[in-house]
Amino acid sequence: MSEPGVGIELSHVTKLYAGQQQAAVEDFSLSVDPGELVMFVGPSGCGKTTTMKMINRIIEPSSGSITIDGQDVLSLDPNELRRHIGYVIQQIGLFPHMTIAENIATVPKLLGWSRERTNNRVDELLRTVQLDPAVFAHRYPKQLSGGQQQRVGVARALAADPPVMLMDEPFGATDPITRQKLQAEFLKLQADIGKTIIFVTHDFDEAVRLGDRIAVLGERSRIEQFDTPANILANPANDYVSSFIGHGAGLMRLALIPISDVELDAPDATAPAVDADSSLRDALDLLMVTGAERVNVSGGEGSLTHARISAALNKARHPVEAS
């Protein structure tokens, strides 16, 4: 149904803003696999946005090349290019004078879809992002909450089923609870649609939670490390990456390890129970809260102690040796 993602290749991309001495992005090379969700994280002003916007040519690179699905984007008409790249910005940017339906229909209209096809697509997308079309389609943006607006922003970017999505801190302006909810919905959605997504954030937690791979960026968009969340947490490439991860790396890593990956002790029916498909972090959480010695994994397969959890974490620190 939905178009699967395609690969993106940036090689030796540099951006020097007019009138500036130093490049905002310098010699940036990165290859993104089809269907992959890559997170750009880094401190404010390091060039995340600039790097991302060169892909849809909102910002023109000074040098280097960018290809999408093997096609050089610099050789394409920028407007045509952008109609096939979903784009979500931090301020959401819903057009206040258009209804929600009209907002979502923007790109299909530019592409000359029939009215019927457009309407069907709008309904389908609203349902996809958990908004009832009967209630929301004819409202205006100001009549929606911040979280609802964010969802519409995502729906609008998905409208023409683009193989590639660029998202610049799309959940940045929401409160922590809404944000977690949006993230969870977004992960579920991505599992269905499998787009190639570049997602900018400066929240490392968010990067760990969502990303297939994370590019930790330093000054001038220098890639300090580009790897899976688990690998970055287990083996930060340098001090810069470690300091960026900050405290709580262990907890973040535990959140990435499902209980099913760990060797269990014998079941203990008297211990508090944790779901079999939760993470080690949930198990630890339960241990701390209840003060129990062990937690029982429901389904009766076994149980976990503090020591087991620590061992699993240490094993994950050296994944290469362990495998």
Partner 1 sequence: MSGSLDVFLARRWEDLVMLTLQHLAVVALSLAIATVLGVLIGLLVWDRNVPRTAALTAAGIAITIPSLALLALLSPVLGLGWAPTVVSLVFYSLLPIVRNTVVGLREVPAHLVESARGMGMTPVKTLLSIQLPLAWPVIVTGIRVAAQLTVGIAAIAAYVAGPGLGLYIFKGLSSLGSANALNFALTGTICVVLLALLIDGAFVLIARYSTSRGLRV
Ligand X SMILES: Nc1ncnc2c1ncn2[C@@H]1O[C@H](COP(=O)(O)OP(=O)(O)OP(=O)(O)O)[C@@H](O)[C@H]1O
Residues that bind Mg ion (CB under 5 A): 49
Assess 89 for contact with partner 1 (CB under 8 A). Answer: yes
Question: Per rule CB under 6 A, is residue 21 in the interface with ligand X?
Answer: no
Nearer to partner 1, 93 or 133 (CB): 93
Q: Which stretch binds ligand X (CB under 6 A): 46-54, 146-154, 266-274, 313-321?
A: 46-54
In whole angstroms, give the CA distance from residue 15 to residue 28: 9
Q: Does residue 96 touch partner 1 according to CB under 8 A?
A: yes
Residue number of the CB atom closest to ligand X: 49
User: Does 72 help bind partner 1 (rule: CB under 8 A)?
Assistant: no
Mapped to the 3 state alphabet, what secondary structure does 132-147 carry?
CHHHHCCCCHHHCCHH
What is d(CA 3, CA 63) in angstroms, rounded to the nearest whole number?
A: 30
Residue pointed to by tokens 């023409």: 160
Chosen residue from 83, 179, 202, 213 binding ligand X by CB under 6 A: 202
3-state helix, strand, coil in the chain (%, to 5): 45, 20, 35
d(CA 251, CA 127): 34
Going by C-beta distance under 8 Å and a sequence separation of 6 or more, which residues neighbour residue 90?
168, 169, 170, 172, 173
The correct pick among 4, 11, 33, 95 for binding partner 1 (CB under 8 A) is 95
| Integer angstrom CA distances of residue 243 from 138, 236, 239, 256 | 47, 9, 6, 20
Residue closer to partner 1, measured from CB, 110 or 237: 110
User: Looking at 140, 178, 194, 273, which residue binds partner 1 (CB under 8 A)?
Assistant: 140
* Contact footprint for ligand X (CB under 6 A): 17, 24, 42, 44-50, 202
* Contact footprint for partner 1 (CB under 8 A): 56, 58, 78-85, 87, 89-91, 93-99, 106-107, 110, 140-142, 156, 166
